Amino acid sequence: MSNKRALISVSDKTGVLELAKELVKLNYEIISTGGTAKTLRDAGLTLKEVSDITGFPEILDGRVKTLHPKIFGGLLARRGDKGHDQDLEKHGIEPFDIAVVNLYPFEKVVTEQNLDEKEMVEYIDIGGVTLLRAAAKNFERVVVLSDPADYPVFLKELNDERTISYENRRRFAAKAFSHTARYDSIISAYFRERTGNTIDTDLFPNELTIGLKRIQPLRYGENPHQRAALYLQTGAGSGIWGLTTAKILQGKELSFNNYLDLESAWNQVQEFQTPCCVIVKHSNPCGVAVSDQLVDAYKRALACDPVSAFGGVIAFNHELDGATAEAMIKLFVECVVAPGYRPEAVEVFKRKPNVRVLQYPSRLTTPGEFDYRKISGGFLIQEKDYQISASELKTVTKRAPSVEEMLSLEFSWKIAKHVKSNAIILGKGLQTAGIGAGQMSRIDSLKIAHSKMSQSEPVILNAKKPLVMASDAFFPFRDCVDEAAKIGVSAIIQPGGSMRDQESIDAANTHNMAMVFTGMRHFRH
């Protein structure tokens, strides 16, 4: 009898039959469990079940089957160590050479099935996780395979060399530990999301894990000399969600920067229920508009800054129709994203096959989602930014905004949330007239916004609409108010909270401008 042994216990049976057949040819004895054993036996393979080794049956509806010294002793023993060899002989334990294990499909089930908590806990793997960790700990002696994609690589080396190199053993072990860590992070997120936040500290637990799985490598990162990859985060909201699951209908491969701009554009367009278009360049909007017709929203968004829109990313919040697609096809666009496309729109985009056309899934965000920022040695984690309701706005000037001004102020304030600080938005009706972003001085942002407005298309911007201004943070001085008056701004929305608020209020009153405080700022670094 061969003294080479392989333990095989898998939930995902992809490739396992082919692997087992090759191992049998190489004179390995197969030890297996439950469903895996049945699959291999039905294919005509001879094997032993774990219960044949342990002398103990599976119990508790299969909750306990591999948790036994004759299994874990065989995985953890340091062969050649005098004490370990004596223990093996004393207790009749035979060592394993290979462990092929993957886990109950907790992630798949939590994503695709609507099960209650009592049902979900039955998909939490205990024995499989322990088998992987034991084999990976002893990787110098036991080859651990947790990913079916590694089976061909493993078999090729085993056939060619009759052994597995130290480097590959260690690599397989690293994958096993990563696999169990991510698995536990998904389970942790599932329970964390159902616990509720009874006190503030519960929102940010002492220990927090983020489960990530690589979807694909990217051509490069922000710049060609930086390598990059796209990862999927799971667990949040008990499912798979967001931009990573968008359906790519056509176009070239998405780049690192494409994903950043798409995320920015989609987050902005979701602020509105009525047809909206957002055009983004380098993560900042260069034009946003809301209208009754999607094609009109696009034309108005483009009119704000047609120069910057060249090579941009465009997002819509309604199904994209043929008329809008026809209008867009005249502009060089990197990416388009919408919740759906009418057949005629799909045909229009086929005329520009390099344009990346994406369709978002129905699930865009998820409860309990955090905003993560990487810094050296760690992460900064915060809640997602949110908007206040219109009822919370406070008029602080002698003149209150007109109905038309207030609608435009509310619109512009929603855009300010998504513009890099310091941010100034000039709005006319339900469209941006000029955007100033990312400046060290707020007055400089205003000057840029005014410059952009001066270059916009005035006919489409509609000169009859009042000009309003939104600022993502308070005014430390009255200079922005005075400059705004010079360019025709009639109403301002800003957070307030400066020691010099009264100076800005006085300036607004002097110019007969309306000013509204939100009590909330929208810094975006």
For residue range 256-313, list pLDDT tens digits in order: 999 999 999 998 998 999 999 999 999 999 999 999 999 999 999 999 999 999 999 9
Q: What CATH class has 246-359? A: alpha beta
CB 55 within 8 A of CB 30: no
Q: How sure is the predictor about 158, in pLDDT bands with cuts at 50, 70 and 90?
A: very high
Range from 359-363, 460-464, 508-512 that averages highest in pLDDT: 508-512
* The pair of three-digit structure tokens given for residue 369, joined into one six-digit string: 């989602």
pLDDT of residue 201: 53
4-190 CATH, one of 3.40.1160.10, 3.40.50.1380, 3.90.1720.10, 3.40.50.920:
3.40.50.1380
Q: DSSP class of residue 512? A: T
Q: How sure is the predictor about 2, in pLDDT bands with cuts at 50, 70 and 90?
A: low
DSSP helix, strand, coil percent of the chain (3-state; round to 5): 40, 20, 40
390-517 CATH, one of 3.40.140.20, 2.40.30.60, 3.20.20.140, 3.40.50.2000:
3.40.140.20
CB 284 within 8 A of CB 419: yes
Q: Which run of H or of E encompasses 266? A: helix 256-269
Range from 125-129, 202-206, 258-262 that averages highest in pLDDT: 258-262
Query: Residue holding tokens 């899934």?
Result: 361
Domain boundaries, the chain: 4-190, 246-359, 390-517
CB 382 within 8 A of CB 369: no
* The pair of three-digit structure tokens given for residue 338, joined into one six-digit string: 């919408």
Q: Which run of H or of E encompasses 301? A: helix 294-304
Query: Which of 508, 446, 453, 491 shows the shortest CA–CA distance to 472?
Result: 446
CB 45 within 8 A of CB 6: no
CB 462 within 8 A of CB 426: no
Torsion of CA 218, 219, 220, 223, to 10 degrees: -130
Strands (E) located in 366-448: 370-375, 378-383, 394-395, 424-428, 431-436
Which tens digit of pLDDT belongs to each residue from 88-115? 888 888 899 999 999 888 877 877 777 7
pLDDT of residue 512: 96
pLDDT of residue 107: 79
Give the span between the Cα atoms of 168 and 171, in whole angstroms.
Answer: 5
Check if 4-190 and 246-359 are the same fold.
Answer: no
Sheet (strand 4-9) strand order: 48-49, 28-32, 4-9, 98-101, 143-145
Q: Which run of H or of E encompasses 409? A: helix 403-416
Share of the chain above pLDDT 70, in %: 94
pLDDT of residue 502: 96
Q: DSSP class of residue 384? A: P
Q: Which residues are catalytic?
A: 137, 282
pLDDT of residue 1: 41
Query: Residue holding tokens 């799971």?
Result: 234
pLDDT at 460 exceeding the cut of 70: no
Longest dimension (CA), the chain: 98
DSSP letter for each residue of 157-191:
HHHHHSS--HHHHHHHHHHHHHHHHHHHHHHHHHH
pLDDT of residue 142: 94
pLDDT of residue 79: 85
CB 488 within 8 A of CB 382: no
* The pair of three-digit structure tokens given for residue 286, joined into one six-digit string: 């260069």
Which tens digit of pLDDT belongs to each residue from 367-420? 557 888 888 888 888 878 888 888 889 999 999 999 999 999 999 999 999 998
